[in-house]
Amino acid sequence: MAKSTTRFFCTDCGHEELRWLGRCPGCGQWNTFKEMKLAPEGGKKGSRGFGSRSGKEREAGAPGFAGNRRGPGGVLEAVPLAEIGSAEHERLPVAPTEVARVLGGGLVAGSVVLLGGEPGVGKSTLLTGLALWWAAQGVRVLYVAGEESPTQIRMRAERLGFAADRSPGFSILPEVHLETLLSALDRECQSLETSTEGDAPGAGKCIVIVDSIQTLHSEHIDAFPGSPTQIKYCGGVMADFARRTGFPVFLVGHVTKSGDLAGPKLLEHMVDTVLYFEGSDGGPIRMVRAVKNRFGNTGELAVLEMRGDGLVPVDQAGVLFLSGRRGNEPGAAVCAIRNGSRTFLVEIQALVSPSRYGTPQRVVQGVDSKRVALLAAILEKRAGMDLAGCDIFVKVAGGGRIDDPAADLAIMAALASSLRERPVPASTLVLGEAGLTGEVRRVTDLDARLLEAGRHGFARVVMAPAAGKSKKRTQGLEIATCTSVEEGVALALEPAANRALGGC
């Protein structure tokens, strides 16, 4: 007889243990372990859990398992890589291209995409917009609605331009019970296979959108919907469905405002693509970032604007963060940062003032605070600037977030500019990674950064000497090279009028 098993799970991070522990070794939280009964081995009769494909399905080699070959007696055989077909041609087009880029150019058959983000950031809006576009191409879209009623989804779709005659293949499945949902999805798949395929490019294709994974629950798991065990199990079963049928599945996962990533984080290893939705400073700009992509580049970014009629790509995203810039003010420096295959010009602002209280403040927004502390220490030690008794405030203008080390020198130039009350000229771009010994290092993708700077009217770039010479990339730009941060900061603060007199 099948045996049921008991395990203990951390309700915060989903860490699994055989016995109860007071403190979770995974996340360090106290008193978060809960006992949960796991499904009996093999699950209930008729269940469609992990690896629950029937022998018949296995033999048939359903899409997504094309490499699964069995020899005499049903024993699994290894298949040479050369005999396995590439799925590259099976990418389903995605519009707009801004979103297609973060998905690696299109949607791969049988892939699972996790879309995480805070509640209200626009996950449902983005997926409804994509669903409407696919439905208009003849693709069948099944929207599993666990959070909203079908009427609410219809209202949102109408806001996004839904017309019944253009999207006949857009259907809603209002279901949160996993087993019922799977039966319904399997039935839909069968009806799709038996229906005669039309001429439309999307005919015979189906996309499943689960909004959200936190609302799904399985009868095999003794835990509340939204708990780590339910999320893990339901996510795994939906991933199994995608690979079994070859139909792409989107899973929406909420990330709480307190930064608690428990739910979606648990799924990251079992999905193919993880997209995170970021809002910027409560404004209308939204960014969708690919933090994992088995079928494309990670770090890719889509910049969208939330309007009254949905999310639309932003024109001139490269200079989005420069809008409202005042120019020749002390305490600001512009650098070109890379996000995936894109370049953005961002202004880093700094305010350095003598501290009025005992412990100087360090307040940072949009950059890692430890990185700013490190750069301030380099400025003190290597460029002789006295910052120890000063309050330091650093911010990325426009609400962006920077992880690119190429912004180091610009952060230092902004700090020095505020300390010395001397502006970095508006047409100067500052590029470079700083080292602890005070050296300025070369940045990656220099050509793309210089191209973006030239395109948006920058005339001078302060940076480390580039490897090799390229006339093309420096065309129209004055390059001021530096090897130390002291030199780099001095060049950045050099007034435009003095340039003819010397420098580099």
By CB under 5 A, name the binding residues for Mg ion: 124
Bridging pattern class, strands 140-145 and 206-211: parallel
Rank residues 121 and 424 by Cβ distance to ligand TYD and give the closer one: 121
Among 11, 111, 125, 245, binds ligand TYD (CB under 6 A): 125
Segment near ligand TYD (CB under 6 A), from 190-198, 225-233, 301-309, 495-503? Answer: 301-309
Whether 406 and 431 have beta carbons less than 8 Å apart is answered as yes
Binding residues among 150-179 for ligand TYD as defined by CB under 6 A: 156, 159
Size of the site for ligand TYD (CB under 6 A): 14
Q: Does 401 engage in binding with ligand TYD (CB under 6 A)?
A: no
Among 49, 64, 104, 117, binds ligand TYD (CB under 6 A): 117
Contacts of 480 (CB under 8 A, 6+ apart): 460, 461, 462, 463, 491, 494, 503, 504
Residues 11-50, one symbol each (x = binds ligand TYD by CB under 6 A, - = not), give: ----------------------------------------
- The span from the CA of 119 to the CA of 98, in Å, is 22
Nearest CA-CA partner of 118 in 214, 35, 200, 195: 214
- The span from the CA of 171 to the CA of 185, in Å, is 11
CB of 250 to ligand TYD, least distance (A): 12
Handedness of CA 466, 472, 473, 475 (dihedral sign): positive
Rank residues 128 and 343 by Cβ distance to ligand TYD and give the closer one: 128
Q: If contact means CB under 5 to 8 A according to the sort of partner, which of ligand TYD, Mg ion, none does residue 125 touch?
A: ligand TYD
Joined tokens for residue 437: 């010994």
Amino acid symbol at 173: L
Residue showing tokens 């707009």: 96
Among 43, 116, 122, 330, binds ligand TYD (CB under 6 A): 122
Segment near ligand TYD (CB under 6 A), from 1-9, 83-91, 117-125, 240-248? Answer: 117-125
Q: If contact means CB under 5 to 8 A according to the sort of partner, which of ligand TYD, Mg ion, none does residue 273 touch?
A: none
Nearest CA-CA partner of 127 in 99, 151, 163, 146: 99
The backbone region for 503, taken as left when phi is positive above 0, alpha when psi lies in -120 to 50, beta otherwise, is: left
Joined tokens for residue 195: 């229906």
Q: If contact means CB under 5 to 8 A according to the sort of partner, which of Mg ion, ligand TYD, none does residue 21 touch?
A: none
CB of 180 to ligand TYD, least distance (A): 23
Residues lying near ligand TYD in the complex (CB under 6 A) are found at 117, 119-125, 156, 159, 306, 308-310
